[in-house]
A = this chain, B = another copy of it.
Amino acid sequence: MKIAFIGLGNMGSPMASNLVKAGHNVTVFDLVESAMQALESEGAGRADSAQAATQGADVVISMLPAGVHVKSLYLGRDGAPGLLEALEDDASNITPLIVDASTISPEDARTVAAAAREKGFTWLDAPVSGGVGGAKAGALTFIVGGSAEGFEQAKPVLDVMGKNVFHAGENGAGQVAKICNNMLLGILMSGTAEALALGVKNGMDPAVLSEIMKQSSGGNWALNGYNPWPGVMEGAAAGRDYEGGFLTDLMAKDLGLAWELALGSKSTVPMGSQARNLFALHSAQGNGGLDFSSIQKLYREGE
């Protein structure tokens, strides 16, 4: 299958790499020259523009930092035409399927999807969870919003990069589900860090308390595989001074998206709101570039 891949950041590079390894004909584009060179050395083709990368493609995949980049790419900016227009004008194109794996607001996703639909293209929002490790291992979770037909069409390609591929609903639902999940994750992680700190301050061993809560009604994803207390769990970010992993600033970004979603829908999110403030505070204290489980440090100052 001929695949165009746009956006070779920390996530996009290993995702594109897995598509190459699976034998697909992948053409990449990124603004960073070295990222394209790396993919080229693995067997991908490279193009000088997003438009050029998508010529004759069956599937277009994009993985960009935020909504503003996704809108620029597809809808254009400052009078320059976007990719949707270029795809329409490309006589060699056979109406490709478009999958955007970026995490953006549901509103932005619906805007771009509607513009694509007008031109007869199927556009899916397919944000991922699983981080850089999941991307490298081809073990990401894709949460897809868009038509059922589009989902079925995309699934074999997403299966190459992911372990779980969910259909969340219509366009925007992929982003809504991802935002809800990551809000809950922010709540779980800060709550788990808080419970561990409370126990330790009252004489408990963090490993014993972790084991008890994991097997009791406090059990959650953080305790199962991402324990925030240093030394409790082998391989967790806490054991390497919180280097790498899913960054505090990305969690703060996702919790900010949850605020926007709550504002737009007149929802109340007291727990997510508290978590957002904690991660934003933690970032303001200089921890934005650490793994988000470093929120544990916020509870340990002055110990």
Q: Chain A residues in contact with chain B, CB under 8 A?
A: 106, 129, 141, 143, 164, 166-170, 172-173, 176-177, 179-185, 187-188, 190-192, 194-199, 201-205, 208-209, 211-213, 215-221, 224, 226, 258, 261-262, 265-272, 274-275, 277-278, 299
Contacts and interface: CB of A to CB of B under 8 A. Distances in A.
Contacts of A166: 208, 211-212, 215
B221 A169 contact: no
Q: Is the interface of A mostly helix, strand, loop or mixed?
A: helix
Contacts of A216: 129, 141, 143, 164, 181, 185, 221
B268 A188 contact: no
Nearest to A281: B270
Contact of A274 (B168, B176, B218, B270): B270
B177 A187 contact: no
A271 B265 contact: no
B268 A299 contact: yes
B221 A180 contact: no
B169 A204 contact: yes
Contacts of A221: 216-220
